Amino acid sequence: MENHTPPSEEVDLFNPELFINRELSLLEFNHRVLEQAKDENVPLLERLRYLCIAGLNLDEFFEVRVAGLKQQQVYGSTQRGADNLSATEQLSRIAVRAGELVAEQYRLLNEVLLPHLDIQRVRFLPRSAWNEAQSRWIKQFFKHELAPILSPIGLDPSHPFPNVLNKGLNFIVTLKGRDAFGRNSSKAVVQAPRSLPRVVRLPEKCAGGENDFVFLSAIIQENIAGLFSGMKVSGCYEFRVTRNSNLFVDDEEIDDLLRALEGELPSRFFGEAVRLELSEDCPDSLEKFLGDKFKLQKPDIYRCDGPVNLSCLAAIPDSVDRPELKFAGFTPAMPSSIRQHASIFDAIKRNDILMHHPFDSFAPVIDFINQAALDKDVLSIRQTLYRTGLNSAIVHALVQAAEAGKEVLVVIELRARFDEEENIELANVLQAAGVQVVYGVVGHKTHAKMSMVVRREGRKLQRFVHLGTGNYHARTARLYTDFGLFTCDEDMCEDVHKIFQLLTAMGREGKLKKMLQSPFTLHDSLLDLIEDEIDNALEGKPARIMAKMNSLNEPQVIRALYRASRAGVKIDLIVRGHCCLRPGVKGISENIHVRSVIGRFLEHTRVFYFEAAGAQLVLLSSADWMHRNFFDRVESCFPVIEPKLKARVIRESFEFYLADNIQAWVLQSDGCYLRETPGDQQRFCAQQALLDAIPST
């Protein structure tokens, strides 16, 4: 291999033009999700599901990302990222791109998905299509199910504008005439009950088929006049407000994180408004009226040619029993090494066990804790929980273990965004069973995915660990791609033990032998590994970097990758979500290629590969290459050592995904993504190849 010489010309790697804005990159990710809803190769009900996912993504984007930018504006923050865009500049560009995405969502719904669903006799009946029998049933439904719990509020000096809930369905109603007290109120607000589904299935006795639905909003609009006796309703228009959902908990000032979060959660429903969604036919005068009430300007207001909450359709794919309109089912594989042993501990002692979910079953992870709970020789279990769910089989096993007298310690991250309330309840349930619960480290979310069992075997204590890239959640293990590793390697077990000690005892963790962790060693170690590849390239040794992750935005890592590219290191990045690195810039990043794969399963694995002069270092991690993961979270990163397992990770993470020409998108230097097409090549889909590799049972 030829020696490379470093480029002689000096370049400014701090140039803002070398960095793509994080928020705009996030919107481009949502565009790629929306494209899945357009893909005719995707089953129809799954296309509808992707449309809903795009809507939910936008909700969270406004609740968190836009809300944060607006806060920067309010407080006059001068904070800028590596791209050097101010909060105002970002909000301006977001409004344009988000507006385009919203318009495309409704065009796709109205012109493509609803007509195709109608052909398949999955129908959403507009008011104009209701027959007499349907109208009668809907009127009775309104009378008995809705009217008793609706509270219309006329707007006058004694009835100020109500404080509407975050993302709730509301109606602004225009009225003529006087009420029973002689008041001449021209406007009213009606809030739809949160307890009722936003889409209602018509009963067989009046439906044209078993999958006929009507929107709750249409039911309310059709019968709204009954709420204003003696007055005339001249207009009724849907609206929805998205509010700032960041929780403001000062880590330095709290004594009890659980109680602080319990007190803060209600504010999520009534934070500052950041977005107003309005029905397409709402008059401009009412748009201005509502905008003024919520202190929102024209760029913050989005017109919707359909239901203002697209995610209201999210329940439809699961409620419609039409398997031919959905992805084909599959049975995940059970690792042969586990099948061959009655005890999972015996299997782990024989060899490390690697699992690639959802293609491999998540059941062994549950069995690991279940067997530990029942095994008389198991003395203790330690576990991190981030997003797990109260009814999780793992939680039940942990409770059972504690009730059996075992030492059970669980580190729960209460601040997992939008799961805080469930995690608080989970903590209370575990504590009631005798589990020792801690909430991690103040100021640093515990995002590491680790489980450790200590078992007495003869005269010695044997430790077994499970390390993963994803959460201990059985449902998402069927929807997300993640790696999990079982091992009883002494060094790895000792490292996991030290990390748990760090989380619970608050002492120094001591030097780890094989693992890396945030916020202490992961960032610096990755920079060192990149520098090693640079040195190897300059010395003519094999040099290669490959990484697969959810997001990439940390400036120091990006600059290090630019330096590596300039030194001749070939770099392939598979980044599902936002990516702030700009590939393909002449003299800077010509050796860097970035792709995103969007498919049936949410790509969630974090895998890092360094050629290491032929030694091939493979790391799995809970962390993305983001500032928060390196500096504000407790993360774990661990090597895959066994050669066969290492080869499998390389094959399934990189060889497959770099060959994908069906579901891959390639990032261009201008920040846009182009979808890969097979052309004259053989079609290859990484996720489908992994599904096809599952052994038949």
Q: List C-alpha distances in Å: 272 to 6, 58, 168, 289, 332.
A: 51, 17, 14, 17, 44
pLDDT tens digits along 320-377: 999 999 999 999 999 988 998 989 999 999 999 999 999 999 999 999 999 999 999 9
**Confidence band (pLDDT; 50, 70, 90) for 254?**
very low
**What structural domains does the chain harbor?**
43-56+75-325 (3.30.1840.10), 336-511 (3.30.870.10), 517-692 (3.30.870.10)
Q: Which H or E run includes 490?
A: helix 490-505
Among the residue ranges 92-106, 377-391, 520-534, the one predicted with the least confidence is 377-391
Mean pLDDT calculated for residue range 136-155: 93
Residue 455 has what pLDDT?
97
- Asked whether the predicted pLDDT for residue 264 surpasses 50, the reply is no
pLDDT (0 to 100) of residue 99: 97
User: Dihedral angle at the C-alpha atoms of 662, 311, 71, 554, nearest 10 degrees?
Assistant: -20
pLDDT at residue 158, as a whole number = 64
Average pLDDT over residues 563-567: 98
Active site residues: 447
Rounded CA-CA distance 231/480 in Å is: 53
CA 119 to chain centre: 32
Please write the tens of the pLDDT for every residue from 610-651: 999 999 999 999 999 999 999 999 999 999 999 999 999 999
pLDDT score of 419: 52
Residue bearing the bigger pLDDT, 172 or 437: 172
CA angle (174 as vertex; 170, 178 as ends), nearest 5: 125
153 close to 170: Cβ distance less than 8 angstroms: no
Q: C-alpha distances in angstroms, 410 versus 303, 421, 645?
A: 46, 17, 29
Q: What is the DSSP string of 2-13?
A: PPP---SS---T
CA distance 81 to 66: 15
Strand-strand pairing, 516-518 and 607-610: unpaired
For 574-612, b/e burial (b = at least 16 CB within 10 A) is bbbbbbbbbbbbeebbebbbbbbbbbbbbbbbbbbbbbb
Predicted pLDDT at 431: 86
Task: Report which secondary-structure segment, H or E, holds 609.
Answer: strand 607-610
Q: What is the pLDDT of residue 182?
A: 62
Of the given ranges (325-329, 489-493, 502-506), which has the lowest mean pLDDT? 502-506
Average of per-residue pLDDT values in the chain: 91
- Write out the H or E segment, with its range, that includes residue 174: strand 170-176
Each residue's pLDDT tens digit, 462-478: 999 999 999 888 888 99
H or E element that contains 527: helix 522-538
pLDDT of amino acid 430: 85
Phi, psi of 461 (to 5 degrees): -100, 125
Give the pLDDT score at 369.
Answer: 95
696: pLDDT strictly greater than 80: no
Question: What's this model's pTM, rounded to 2 decimal places?
Answer: 0.93
Q: How confident is the model at residue 263 (pLDDT cuts 50, 70, 90)?
A: very low
Question: pLDDT: is 38 or 5 the higher one?
Answer: 38
